[in-house]
A and B are shown apart, each in its own frame.
Chain A
Amino acid sequence: MGNNKMKKPFGGIVLDSSFRIIIPFTLVYGIYILTHGEYSPGGGFQAGALLAVGIVLVRLIQGADKESFNITGAKAIVCAGVGTFIYAATGWLTLAGGGKFLDYTFLPVPMHHWGELHALGILMIEIGVTVCVMMTIIDIMDAIIERLDADEDEEVDDCER
Chain B
Amino acid sequence: MQVLILEALLLLFLIFITVCILISKDILACTIIYSAFSFCAVLTYFMFGSPDVAFTEAVIGTMSTIFFIAALKKVDRWCK
Interface residues on A, range: 20 to 34
Select B55's contact among A3, A41, A148, beta carbons within 8 Å: A41
Residue pair B55, A140 in contact (C-beta under 8 Å): no
In the bound complex, residues from chain B placing their C-beta under 8 Å from that of A144 are 67, 70-71
Q: Mark B45-73, 1 if CB is under 8 A from A, else 0.
A: 00000011011100110110011001101
Is residue A137 contacting chain B, with contact meaning CB distance below 8 A? yes
Interface size of B by Cβ–Cβ distance < 8 Å?
15
Chain A residues positioned under 8 Å from B52 (CB to CB)? 41-43, 46
Q: Is the interface of B mostly helix, strand, loop or mixed?
A: helix
Judge if B80 is at the interface, Cβ distance under 8 Å: no
Contact A148 B70 (CB under 8 A): yes
Q: Does A145 count as interface, using CB distance less than 8 angstroms?
A: yes
Decide: B55 and A42 in contact? CB cutoff 8 A.
Answer: yes
**Measured CA separation A43–B55 after assembly (Å):** 10
- With A52-B63, A144-B71 known, 6 other A-B pairs at CB within 8 A are A33-B55, A45-B56, A46-B52, A56-B66, A140-B67, A145-B70
